[in-house]
Structure 1
Amino acid sequence: MAEFGKVAVMFGGNSAEREISLMSGQAVLDGLLANGVDAHAFDPKDTPLSELKTQGFERVFNVLHGRGGEDGTLQGALEFLDIPYTGSGVLGAALAMDKIKTKQIWCSLGLPTAKFAVVESTQSTDYQAVLNELGGVVMVKPANEGSSIGMAKVDNAEDLKSAIDAASEFDREILIEQWIDGGEYTVAILGDKALPAIHMTTPNDFYDYQAKYQSSTTEYHCPCGLSQEEEAELGQIALRAFNSVNTKGWGRVDFMRGSDGQWYLLEVNTVPGMTTSSLVPKAAKVAGFSFNELVMEILKQTLVK
C-alpha cells in the first residue's frame, strides 16, 4: 500500500447532494482502510483544498457528488496542486455534469437519446408549444444536478411551468425531455470495460430521489434479464457514450429502453453513488468484485499517468 501514500477521501462538500456524498465517502473510506490504505476523510466544506499539500496528501479519491466535485471544479484545483485523483479530468467532468451539452454531443454522433428542448428560467416560454413538440408528456430536469434532484414528470402546461420554476431553484438552464415509456437501466464503467447492466424497477413514476434513497419497494435486477446479445449492445453504447464526453476511469451511464425496444441515453455520472448498496457496487459484485476490491481498482487508476 506504500505506493499510494497518504490518500484523502474527498466527500461532503456544499452541493445539493451533500448527504449522499457523506454516505458514499464513508463507505469508500471504510473500504480503503480495510485494505490497509493510509486513507483519511477530507470534507472541503470544512477544510480548504490548500491543506491537501500542507497535510502531505499524495492522491485524492473523489467522492464528491454534484457541483464542486463532479463538474470539473475540483479536478482543476487538483491539477493545479499536481495531486493525482480518481475519475474523469476537468473536461470530462464538466461536460458530463451538463446534461444539455452531453445530449448535444450524443446527437451530433448519432447516439440514441430522447427528443428534448432547452429553456432558461428567465425567458418567456410557450409551455403548451413545448409539450406539443415533445409528445405531450415530458421530464423536466435542471441541467447540472444529479440524484434526480429538481426533476418532475408533467403532462400539461400549468404543471410544466411549475416544474420549470421548481427546477430553476437549482439551475438557470432547464432540460425538457420527451417522456419515454419503458424500463430504466444503468451500465457501470470500470476502466475500459462495461460492467453487467442493472434494470431498476419502482412503483413510482420514475427512478426519482425517493426511489433511489428512501424506498423499500425499488428493485434492482442484475443480471438484468437481457439476452447476451442485447447486453453486449447496451455495453457498447454505454462505452461510446462515456468516451464521447471525454470521461474516464470509472462512472455510470443511465438509459431508458422504450416500448419500441430502442435504447435512449439519459446521462453520464462521473462520481456515482458508492454506498455498499449503490448501483456501481451492485454491478461490480456480479462482475466478481467485492466492494473493497472495487475501491482499490478505482484507486489504482491514480497510479497511471
Structure 2
Amino acid sequence: MKKNIAIIMGGYSSEYQISLKSGNVVYKSLDKDKYNVYRVHIFKDKWVFVDPYNREFPIDRNDFSVPLNDTKITFDCVFNAIHGSPGEDGFMQAYFKLIGMPQTSCDAYQAALTFNKRDCLSVLKPYGILTAESYYLNLGDTINETEITAKVGLPCFVKANKAGSSFGITKVYKTEDLKQAIDIAFKEDDEIIIESFLDGTEVSVGVITYKGKTKVLPITEIVSENDFFDYEAKYLGKSQEITPARLTKDQEAKVTTVAKKVYEVLKMKGYSRSEFIFKDGEPHLLEMNTVPGLTNESILPQQAAEAGLSMQELFDSAIEEALKNNT
C-alpha cells in the first residue's frame, strides 16, 4: 500500500521562495508508484494542501490532516523542505514530535542549535572544531567599533545569527562601514555574529544518513565571482561550484573527518550541509544547514549525483530513514 507523503515548503523567512522551489523538485522527483505525494504550503497566515490544480485546502493542525470533501487525508511521513523558520529552527520538528508524525529532518533540539550560528559554534569548540574568531551583538547593545575590530580584525563578516541564504550578511573592510552592516544584519535577526575573515579555499560538505549509516558526500569547492558566497553567488549563477573539490588528499581527508565528527557529535539525522574554509591547511567550520537547498542547481543534489545517487534515491532514502526511526 502506498504511503501518503506531505512535502512542507514555504516558511516564514526571506528564504520562502527558495523553499518552494526545493519542495516542488521533491514533489516531481518522488516515486509516484511508491508514494502518494502532497504539497503543503506553510505560511504565517495559512497552512494549506495545494492540489495539482493549485486549489488550496486548509490543514487541520490538531493532527496535520486535510479534510477533503467527505474524507480525511492523513499522512505517513512529512518531507521537510522549509529553509529557515519554522522548518529549520526546530518549531516544525517539535510540532511533529508532539503529534507523533515522522519527518525527514533532524530533531527539534538539533535544528534549533544549528540554526543559531553562535550557539552551534560554541557547542562544537570543546570538541576541537576550529572556527573563525567571533564577536557577538544583540539588538540594543552598545556598538564599540574599536573593540570589534580589535577582536576580529578587518576585513570581517557581519552576519545575522539566525538566517540563511546569506540574507543579512556583509563583508566589511573599513571600521566606518561597520554600523551600516550591523543595521543590515539586524533587519534579519535581533542577534548578530561578527567573524574574522578566513582567507582560503571554501568548501561545502554534505553529510546524510543513508541506509542507516553516516555518509559523507563528495565535497564541493565554492569559487564566488562576487566578494564572497552571497545570495547572487548561491542562486543567480555568480559562482563556480566544483564537485569534487580540487583538494589535496590530506585536505580531503581532514574535512571529511571533521564534517562527519560534527554530524555525529550533534546527533544529527537526515540531510546536512556544512561550510568550511581552509586556513593554514586546516578546515574551519562556518555553519551547518539542516534543510539545505534541494533544487537541481543546489549543492547537496550535485554532491549526491557525484556519489551516484539520483534525486529519487536521495529523497526516498530520507523518507525511509524517517519511517524507520519512528517505529
Q: TM-score range by the shorter chain?
A: over 0.9
Q: TM-score, normalised by structure 2?
A: 0.88
CA drift of 1:94 comes to 0.6
Question: Is contact 1:105–1:244 with CA below 8 Å preserved after alignment?
Answer: no
Extract unaligned runs of 5+ from structure 2. Answer: 48-58, 67-72
Question: Is contact 2:133–2:151 with CA below 8 Å preserved after alignment?
Answer: no
Q: TM-score, normalised by structure 1?
A: 0.95
Question: Is contact 2:10–2:41 with CA below 8 Å preserved after alignment?
Answer: yes
The corresponding residue for 1:284 is: 304
CA drift of 1:33 comes to 4.5
Post-superposition Cα deviations, 1:127-182, rounded to whole Å, max 9, x if no partner, equal 12211221222111111101111000002222111111111111111000001111
Query: Equivalent residues in 2 for 1:240-255 (5 A)?
Result: 240-255=261-276
CA drift of 1:123 comes to 0.7
Question: Is contact 1:121–1:164 with CA below 8 Å preserved after alignment?
Answer: no
Please state whether the residue corresponding to 1:182 is helix, strand or coil: coil
The corresponding residue for 1:58 is: 76
Q: Partners of 1:34 and 1:6 in 2: how far apart?
A: 10
Q: Partners of 2:168 and 2:319 in 1: how far apart?
A: 32
Q: Partners of 1:154 and 1:132 in 2: how far apart?
A: 14
Pick one of 284, 288, 293 that aligns with 1:264. 284
Correspondence 1:77 to 2:95: yes
Question: Is contact 2:159–2:185 with CA below 8 Å preserved after alignment?
Answer: yes
Distance change in 2, residues 1:276/1:50 (3 Å): farther
The corresponding residue for 2:158 is: 140
Q: Percent identity?
A: 33
The corresponding residue for 2:56 is: none
Question: Is contact 1:67–1:144 with CA below 8 Å preserved after alignment?
Answer: no
The corresponding residue for 1:275 is: 295
Query: Equivalent residues in 2 for 1:130-279 (5 A)?
Result: 130-191=148-209, 192-215=214-237, 217-258=238-279, 260-279=280-299
Q: Partners of 1:159 and 1:33 in 2: how far apart?
A: 51
Higher mean alpha-carbon deviation, 228-237 vs 172-181, is at: 228-237
CA drift of 1:53 comes to 3.0
CA drift of 1:21 comes to 0.1
Extract unaligned runs of 5+ from structure 1. Answer: none
Please state whether the residue corresponding to 1:38 is helix, strand or coil: strand
Greater share of strand: 2
Post-superposition Cα deviations, 1:227-268, rounded to whole Å, max 9, x if no partner, equal 33421221110011223333222211111112x222110111
The corresponding residue for 1:113 is: 131
The corresponding residue for 2:15 is: 17
The corresponding residue for 1:303 is: 323
* Structure with bigger gyration radius: 2
CA drift of 1:225 comes to 1.5
Number of paired residues?
A: 301
Question: Is contact 1:253–1:267 with CA below 8 Å preserved after alignment?
Answer: yes
Which amino acid letter does the alignment assign opposite residue 165 of structure 1? D
Q: Partners of 1:66 and 1:114 in 2: how far apart?
A: 23
Post-superposition Cα deviations, 1:79-130, rounded to whole Å, max 9, x if no partner, equal 1111000010011101000000011012222211111010112110211221
Which amino acid letter does the alignment assign opposite residue 277 of structure 2? M
Greater share of helix: 1
Question: Is contact 1:6–1:56 with CA below 8 Å preserved after alignment?
Answer: yes
Question: Is contact 1:242–1:268 with CA below 8 Å preserved after alignment?
Answer: no
The corresponding residue for 1:294 is: 314
Please state whether the residue corresponding to 2:244 is helix, strand or coil: coil
Q: What is the aligned-residue RMSD (CA, Å)?
A: 1.5
Question: Is contact 1:35–1:292 with CA below 8 Å preserved after alignment?
Answer: no
Distance change in 2, residues 1:262/1:35 (3 Å): farther
